[in-house]
Amino acid sequence: MSEHEIRVTWRRAEHATTSGTYSRDHLADYGSDTRIAVSAAPDYLGNPALADPEQLLANALASCHLLYFLALCEGSGYRVESYEDRATARVEKLPEGGFGVTTITLRPRAVFGGDKQPTAQALHRLHDRAHTGCFIANSIKSDVLIVLEGD
């Protein structure tokens, strides 16, 4: 199969706006020249200008869904011209205690070109298959909702 590695680094620094605590800002290196500045979510004293882990989890799911969806469309003879998703991750208290990402909602919107256009039923089937095949969706316990425009 495959293995995917990142390196996360953090160095102590004072929090920019809250005295007496530390900065949550850190770096995630993905290899070669790809580096993402990350922090906690603003609700947890993070830097609102940086990505937070919950956003990155929603991003991972949305990107995986997109890539699987594009492959399915190509295999089915549909030409996707553009695709947009506004994914959200919801953090809530868990029944067993603690907090977790309980729901990730995807709102994909694809624009198709060419003569072959999917029906609403075919579009739902493509998204269902993309979700079923998505590696990230198969790896998390959060509920995943897929809301298509017009649903």
Contact 130, 65 (CB under 8 A): yes
Residue 64, pLDDT > 90, answer: yes
Whether residue 31 is predicted with pLDDT greater than 90 in this model: the reply is: no
Contacts of 18 (CB under 8 A, 6+ apart): 45
Question: Which whole number is the average pLDDT over 6-12?
Answer: 96
**In this model, does residue 88 exceed pLDDT 90?**
yes
**Residue 39's pLDDT band (cuts 50, 70, 90):** very high
Given phi > 0 = left and psi -120 to 50 = alpha, else beta, which region is 77? left
Domains assigned to the chain: 7-44 (no CATH), 53-146 (3.30.300.20)
Q: Model-level pTM greater than 0.85?
A: yes
